[in-house]
Structure 1
Amino acid sequence: MKLLILDRDGVINFDSDAYIKSVEEWIPLPGSIEAIAQLSKAGWTVAVATNQSGIARGYYDVATLEAMHERLRSLVAEQGGELGLVVYCPHGPDEGCACRKPKPGMLQTIAAHYGADLAGCWFVGDSLGDLQAAQAVDAQPVLVKTGKGLQTLAKELPVNTLIFDDLAAIAADLIHK
């Protein structure tokens, strides 16, 4: 199985320090939907692992989050692709859960769902926490320069982190390997 795991905010859609609180605020980054569809059509299973502490903070509810993800699924389907499992951490940063990145719980959930090995699997994110979650399960950390990616680039990255301009560049690389 060719499995690719993506962070959501800043990788697939625009991010906001004020949180993405509604379907209307959930706006895809240019080329991201097409990239997911192209990967899907090329035989990749594309899953999503996203911290969503806005739920714990009371900014939006699970139904609203699921509506955002349904919008994502429908946009990918309109391009002829399919989005795989979407997992999210609804907890706040101080709750001590096992799922909130940089902990690898969501990545492990995705691997268990698909019966996949995370070693070498690409996990694409725009934050140091994303890269650290990948590193924790021997996955390949991949940084995009979208979202908070340029700020993250200035930090000390895990060894062997791959760097791409955006999700479209990753799709082009993986499809043409």
Structure 2
Amino acid sequence: MESAIFLDRDGVINEVLTSRVKYVNKPRDFFLLDGVGEAIRLLNEKGLKVFVVTNQGGVGLGYMREKTLIEVHQRMKDDLAEFGARIDDVAYCPHKPYEGCACRKPGPKMLVDLAEKHNVDLKRSYMVGDRDPDIEAGKAAGTKTVLVGTREKVTSKADYIFPDLLAFSKWLVQGTTILD
């Protein structure tokens, strides 16, 4: 079984709630955060699977169509490719917040489903997020958890804390920890 890095999207990979963009409802609203292309490339070079797991309640609420969300994810992949980086798969929850679906974080379903699909050992993997639901989903799935950024006050106890995805990626690939 392989190790993987599960990444939340908004606030970990791309800007959200900034002066340039409030929410990412169209491909033109998608902007990579500084260092993310290099960070994901480092993870790829380490031989790790990299997945995106993202709640996208804007679909269920009618702010965007699922087709547009897929276009946003293609923009993300295209932007990352400019850095020689790739995402191996994307899972998203299109349901409204508080709809009670099984896939929405803090539930672990998106992580578990990707792990089964790609033969990933969750105990040897990491969930990286910037909010409590991300950390809680990682813990529920059995991954190590990493909090990045300072977008909001987080009460969940992540296993590791880094200022951004690049700092985590450098730490991981430099052998500061092993994936056993």
How high is the TM-score relative to the length of structure 2?
0.89
Listed as ranges, the gaps of 5+ residues in structure 2 are: 176-180
AA aligned to 1:76 is L
Instruction: Work out the CA distance in 2 between the residues paired with 1:76 and 1:38.
Output: 12
**What do you get for the CA RMSD once the two structures are aligned?**
1.5
Alignment of 1:38-77 (within 5 A): 38-77=42-81
Task: Report the equivalent of 2:127.
Answer: 123
Shift of 1:40: 0.9
AA aligned to 2:144 is Q
The answer to whether 1:78 aligns with 2:79 is: no
Alignment of 1:124-143 (within 5 A): 124-143=128-147
How high is the TM-score relative to the length of structure 1?
0.90
AA aligned to 1:98 is A
Change (3 A) 1:16 1:101: same
- Number of aligned pairs? 171
AA aligned to 1:15 is V
Secondary structure of residue in 1 paired with 2:32 = coil
Change (3 A) 1:66 1:147: farther
Task: Report the equivalent of 1:170.
Answer: 168
Shift of 1:52: 0.1
Q: Deviations over 1:6-55 (max 9, x none)?
A: 00000000113953111111111111122112211221111010000000
Contact 1:131 1:143 (8 Å CA) reproduced:
yes
* Structure 1 moving runs of 4+ over 6 Å: none
Task: Report the equivalent of 1:31.
Answer: 35
Secondary structure of residue in 2 paired with 1:4 = strand
Give identity over the alignment, percent. Answer: 39
Listed as ranges, the gaps of 5+ residues in structure 1 are: none
Shift of 1:146: 4.5
Shift of 1:161: 2.0
